[in-house]
């Protein structure tokens, strides 16, 4: 069972605390069980005979036992809570680590909404169950069995009340739990649903507004919301039944004990003290059964949640570190050997037969129509995805054999869709190298043509950046991302269409400033404009995932049909403009 496996695996580290919980609970439960019989003794031997000294003595002992019970119970809960929270924390950490080590496709296979629910809500459920288990696992059975034993010691004649009320309670609660179980899976799935709709709408809010799709989106959310509400109401209805039914059984049992016990006291076969003790024991037993069933009620939901969490933890992340990490000299050479890449489930490969070499001090440009596979090709170098065929080598080593940290210091990618993190401009720029000085940041900003923009901000480098970088313009974001890469100072720079949001003049200035920075580095540039790639040492022409041309601008212009077409289309577009 997944839940058990997960709980066992994660509680192993805290065995000392768990032992403490067990021991403390044992003491506390014993004390609780001892109290009613002491009470009975006071009534039968002290009150009925008027022995005040005995009453004082036994009363004092009761107080002491009570004290022990309270202290141990509190301590047990303290340790239990600590352990459960620690298990939750570890689960969350491992889930986070797994998700961050997943490749893009693996994340897409799950989808972000469900990964978020699993990392928060589902783990919360498992953690709650761990807490309940630790709080009641020991006390409930002991209370149950001990209570029965003690009750029988007080009076065997009334024992049939135990044998009837406990199964009655079990049957009723068991029936309700069995009906709840399937509903819980639906609840979790519908929480995913709400998360998904909400996330998409928040991220796509501008598009929604631009196309005046609010009514449609509102309906979509309302539908997801209604679906969650429906199933939650069904869960609630069953829960509502639970409490009155349990209450009824408890009260019926009390009445029955008093009724039948009273007759036995009348007949002189039972003492009053025993009757009160019996009643207390029966209530303790029923309470324990109730607690047990509450736990049983959480179990179905926790099972579902544990399975969902485990599903993520079991993924073998494609971004995982190689088994052995070795020192690799940094040469800055990138090589593709007959590389093929296929998105999972896709019929055709997006890239095939890709072979080329990019060396330090040179700029390699990649051109091709949209959808020809340029972004995919760049993504293979920092191992965002893994090639499905052939080999991608950095510094003469397959990228899969390099540790992520090794790759990160060698390769830096400016993505096509620039992304900044919430924080400040400075914190974003230091993303690739935390110890960069302010001077280095300003230098990178100057090269990236972003210094003026930052200087205009009253807070300068400390200007706040919101999640995703949505509070700066697209072009500013792109230039900040270029600056971030420059601060990191990798051996290999990858620019994915990074100059497209810039006007022609800024583009030219940026490339001029960039040239000395990249003099010793390997640069691979994806670009749309021929003017951007003209000066490159080699140009790779990509068409539908294949390399259809390779050479300098002049060579390609002379002999390559696809390249000639691209050039022609841009010249004619310019003339029209
Ligand atoms: N996650 C994905 N799953 C399946 N197919 C994808 C995925 N991402 C991209 N593709 C497909 O792979 C092909 C290449 O995409 P890619 O993003 O590499 O093109 P590109 O050359 O960068 O285009 P552009 O110039 O528009 O940026 C396209 O046909 C695209 O539909
Ligand atoms: Mg692209």
DSSP 35-51: HHHHHHHIIIIIITTT-
Q: Are residues 457 and 535 in the same domain?
A: yes
Q: Give the pLDDT of residue 573.
A: 67
Q: Give the pLDDT of residue 354.
A: 94
Q: Are residues 169 and 198 in the same domain?
A: yes
Q: Are residues 309 and 343 in the same domain?
A: no
Q: Give the pLDDT of residue 574.
A: 65
Q: Are residues 85 and 182 in the same domain?
A: yes
* Of 357, 349, 352, 342, nearest in space to 540 by CA: 357
Would residue 326 count as lying in a domain? no
Tell me the pLDDT tens digit for each residue of 363-374.
999 999 888 999
- In the chain, the number of structural domains is 2
* Of 220, 232, 233, 231, nearest in space to 194 by CA: 220
Q: Give the pLDDT of residue 492.
A: 95
Q: Are residues 286 and 341 in the same domain?
A: no
Q: Which ligand is nearest to the CA of 371?
A: 1
CA 12/CA 23 separation, integer angstroms: 17
Are 39 and 280 within 8 A, CB to CB?
yes
Say yes or no to pLDDT of 105 above 80: no
Q: Are residues 108 and 232 in the same domain?
A: yes
* Domain C-terminal end among 279, 313, 347: 313
Say yes or no to pLDDT of 392 above 90: yes
For position 113, which CATH number holds? Answer: 1.20.1560.10
Residue with structure tokens 């019926």? 252
Would residue 430 count as lying in a domain? yes
Confidence of residue 170 (pLDDT cuts 50, 70, 90): confident
For position 401, which CATH number holds? Answer: 3.40.50.300
CA 456/CA 241 separation, integer angstroms: 65
Q: Taking residues 182-190, what's their average pLDDT?
A: 85
Would residue 320 count as lying in a domain? no
**What strands, in cross-sheet order, belong to the sheet with 546-551?**
411-414, 492-496, 522-526, 363-368, 538-543, 546-551
* Of 428, 337, 413, 427, nearest in space to 379 by CA: 413
Q: Are residues 448 and 562 in the same domain?
A: yes
Cβ(342) – ligand 1 distance below 6 Å: no
537 C-alpha vs ligand 2 centroid, how far in Å?
Answer: 21
Confidence of residue 576 (pLDDT cuts 50, 70, 90): low
Cβ(112) – ligand 1 distance below 6 Å: no
Tell me the pLDDT tens digit for each residue of 415-440.
888 888 889 999 999 988 888 899 99
Domain that holds residue 402: 334-576
* Domain C-terminal end among 253, 282, 313: 313
Are 496 and 374 within 8 A, CB to CB?
yes
Nearest CA to ligand 1 atom 31: 371
CB atoms < 10 A from the CB of 148, how many? 19
Mean residue pLDDT of the chain comes to 88
Would residue 423 count as lying in a domain? yes
Nearest CA to ligand 1 atom 24: 370
Cβ(374) – ligand 1 distance below 6 Å: yes
Would residue 327 count as lying in a domain? no
Q: Are residues 118 and 256 in the same domain?
A: yes
pTM summary value: 0.69
Say yes or no to pLDDT of 279 above 70: yes
Q: Which ligand is nearest to the CA of 367?
A: 1
Q: Chain centroid to CA 175: how far?
A: 33
Q: Are residues 569 and 444 in the same domain?
A: yes
Cβ(346) – ligand 1 distance below 6 Å: yes
Residues in the chain: 577
Tokens describing residue 542: 């990509």
Q: Give the pLDDT of residue 375.
A: 93
Would residue 203 count as lying in a domain? yes
Among the residue ranges 84-93, 202-211, 441-450, the one predicted with the least confidence is 202-211
Q: Are residues 346 and 302 in the same domain?
A: no
Among the residue ranges 155-159, 221-225, 328-332, 566-570, the one predicted with the least confidence is 155-159
Are 360 and 333 within 8 A, CB to CB?
yes
Confidence of residue 577 (pLDDT cuts 50, 70, 90): low
Residue 1 class from Cβ within 10 Å (0-12 exposed, 13-18 middle, 19+ buried)? Answer: exposed
CA 170/CA 296 separation, integer angstroms: 11
CA 538/CA 372 separation, integer angstroms: 18
Strand, coil or helix: what is 389?
strand
Confidence of residue 575 (pLDDT cuts 50, 70, 90): low
Cβ(370) – ligand 1 distance below 6 Å: yes
Tell me the pLDDT tens digit for each residue of 22-67.
999 999 989 988 988 888 888 888 888 888 888 899 899 999 999 9
Cβ(412) – ligand 1 distance below 6 Å: no
Q: Are residues 124 and 210 in the same domain?
A: yes
* Of 340, 490, 319, nearest in space to 399 by CA: 319
Would residue 321 count as lying in a domain? no
* Domain C-terminal end among 313, 348, 377: 313
Would residue 103 count as lying in a domain? yes
Q: Are residues 64 and 149 in the same domain?
A: yes
């Amino acid at each position: 069972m997944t839940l058990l496996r997960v709980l066992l695996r994660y509680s192993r580290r805290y065995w000392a605390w768990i032992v403490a919980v067990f021991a403390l609970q044992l003491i506390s439960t014993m004390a609780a069980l001892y109290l009613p019989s002491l009470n009975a003794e006071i009534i039968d031997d002290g009150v009925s005979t008027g022995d005040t000294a005995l009453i004082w003595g036994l009363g004092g002992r009761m107080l002491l036992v009570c004290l022990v019970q309270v202290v141990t119970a509190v301590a047990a809960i303290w340790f239990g809570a600590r352990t459960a929270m620690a298990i939750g924390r570890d689960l969350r950490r491992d889930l986070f680590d797994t998700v961050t080590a997943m490749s893009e496709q693996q994340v897409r296979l799950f989808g972000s909404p469900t990964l978020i629910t699993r990392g928060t809500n589902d783990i919360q459920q498992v953690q709650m169950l761990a807490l309940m288990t630790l709080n009641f696992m020991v006390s409930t059975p002991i209370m149950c069995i001990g209570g029965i034993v003690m009750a029988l010691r007080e009076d065997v004649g009334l024992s049939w009340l135990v044998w009837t009320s406990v199964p009655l309670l079990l049957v009723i609660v068991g029936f309700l739990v069995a009906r709840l179980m399937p509903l819980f899976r639906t609840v979790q799935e519908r929480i995913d649903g709400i998360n998904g709709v909400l996330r998409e709408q928040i991220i796509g809010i501008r598009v929604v507004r631009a196309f005046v799709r609010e009514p449609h989106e509102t309906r979509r959310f309302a539908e997801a919301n209604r679906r969650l509400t429906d199933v939650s109401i069904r869960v609630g209805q069953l829960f509502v039944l639970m409490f009155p039914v349990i209450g009824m059984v408890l009260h019926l049992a009390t009445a029955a004990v008093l009724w039948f016990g009273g007759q036995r006291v009348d007949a002189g076969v039972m003492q009053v003290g025993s009757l009160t003790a019996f009643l207390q024991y029966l209530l303790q037993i029923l309470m324990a059964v109730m607690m047990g069933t509450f736990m049983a009620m959480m179990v179905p939901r926790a099972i579902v949640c544990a399975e969902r969490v485990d599903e993520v933890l079991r993924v073998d992340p494609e971004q995982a570190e190689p088994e052995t990490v070795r020192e690799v000299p940094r040469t800055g050479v990138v090589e593709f050997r007959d590389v093929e890449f296929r998105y999972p489930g896709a019929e055709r490969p997006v890239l095939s037969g890709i072979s080329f070499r990019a060396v330090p001090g040179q700029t390699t440009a990649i051109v091709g129509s949209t959808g020809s596979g340029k972004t995919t090709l760049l993504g293979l170098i920092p191992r965002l995805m893994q090639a499905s065929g052939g080999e991608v080598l950095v510094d003469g080593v397959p990228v899969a054999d390099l540790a992520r940290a090794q790759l990160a210091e060698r390769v830096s990618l400016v993505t096509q869709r620039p992304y900044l993190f919430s924080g400040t401009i400075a914190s974003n720029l230091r993303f690739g190298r935390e110890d960069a000085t302010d001077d280095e940041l300003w230098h990178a900003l100057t090269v990236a043509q972003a210094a003026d923009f930052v200087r205009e901000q009253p807070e300068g480098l400390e200007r706040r950046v919101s999640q995703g970088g949505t509070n700066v313009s697209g072009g500013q974001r792109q230039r900040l991302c270029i600056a971030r890469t420059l601060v990191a100072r990798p051996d290999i720079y990858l620019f994915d269409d990074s100059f497209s949001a810039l006007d022609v003049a800024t583009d030219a200035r940026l490339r001029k400033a960039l040239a000395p920075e990249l003099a010793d580095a390997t640069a691979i540039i994806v670009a749309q404009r021929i003017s951007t790639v003209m000066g490159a040492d080699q140009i790779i022409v990509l068409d539908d995932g294949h390399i259809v041309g390779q050479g300098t601008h002049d060579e390609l212009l002379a002999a390559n049909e696809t390249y000639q077409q691209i050039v022609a289309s841009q010249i004619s577009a310019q003339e029209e403009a």
